[in-house]
Structures are given as C-alpha cells and as structure tokens.
Amino acid sequence: MGHIHESNTGRRARRIRHKLKSAAPGKLRLSVYRSNLHFSAQIIDDTKGHTLASASTMEKKLGTGLKNGRSSAAAELIGKTLAERALKAGVTEVYFDRGHYRYTGRLKALADAARSAGLKF
C-alpha cells in the first residue's frame, strides 16, 4: 500500500468538518459549494445521509434575474432561499461547513443572509 496524496484543500476541508462534527454531534450541516459559474448550498443530515433542503443558482427560478451566478447578490439570494426552505422543512439550527473556502466575500454574504432569514448557526 502506497501513500495516497491528498491536496491541501482536501485536508483543510476534512479538518474543518472534523472540528465542527466533534463540537456539535448530531447537528445538521449547512454545506456550500462554489464553482466558477455557480453557487449552491444544502442542509445535510449526516446521520441518515439525506439532504433536507438545498438551493442553487443553477435552478431556473433562482438563476433568472441575476447578472451571474457567482456574485455576492447570488450568494445572498441562495442563503435567503435556503433558510426559507429549511424553516419550511422544520430545520432551525445547523452548523456552517465552509469546506475549504475562506469565510469572506460571497461565503460571508450567504451566511449573513441565511442568519437574517431565520437560521441559527
């Protein structure tokens, strides 16, 4: 068995996820993904392996009216929409899994919008 090489971003994501899971076992996870063109977020129940709510700029309803899917305005829209869908599904409290992304700019805009729409984390 050889050594399996893992990127720095993968290690960073695993480290952050491990710290959050050990600090809040059984809590739901708000996971974000940011590509060059789009932004998406979902709330995941890791004990069951189910996604309870999600929002993405790839959805036709959310993507229209935006200049592009990777702006801060798009992130705010995703955060607000995800929080509304989560509250409708009965989810009020989650932990924020930013993955390997830094908590600035678009990620901060998404988190602030989700908090202002009623999610607690």
Q: Where residue 61 sits, what CATH number does that domain have? A: 3.30.420.100
CA dist., res. 58 & res. 53, Å (int): 15
Its domain, for residue 20, covers: 8-116
pLDDT band at 3 (very low <50, low <70, confident <90, very high): low
* pLDDT for 4: 63
* pLDDT for 20: 78
User: Considering the domain boundaries, does residue 2 fall inside one?
Assistant: no
Which residues are within 8 A (CB) of 115 and not within 5 positions of it... i.e. 6 or more apart?
83, 121
User: Considering the domain boundaries, does residue 121 fall inside one?
Assistant: no
More confident: 67 or 116: 116
Mean pLDDT of the chain: 88
Look at the pTM and tell me if it is higher than 0.85: no
User: Considering the domain boundaries, does residue 75 fall inside one?
Assistant: yes
Both tokens of 28, joined, read: 């739901």
Q: Mean pLDDT across the stretch 50-62?
A: 92
Sign of CA dihedral 99, 103, 105, 108: positive
User: Considering the domain boundaries, does residue 54 fall inside one?
Assistant: yes
More confident: 113 or 13: 113
Query: What is the total count of domains within the chain?
Result: 1
CA angle, 9 then 82 then 119, to 5°: 90
The pLDDT of residue 112 is above 90: yes
pLDDT band at 1 (very low <50, low <70, confident <90, very high): very low
Q: Mean pLDDT across the stretch 18-45?
A: 88
Both tokens of 30, joined, read: 């708000």
User: Considering the domain boundaries, does residue 64 fall inside one?
Assistant: yes
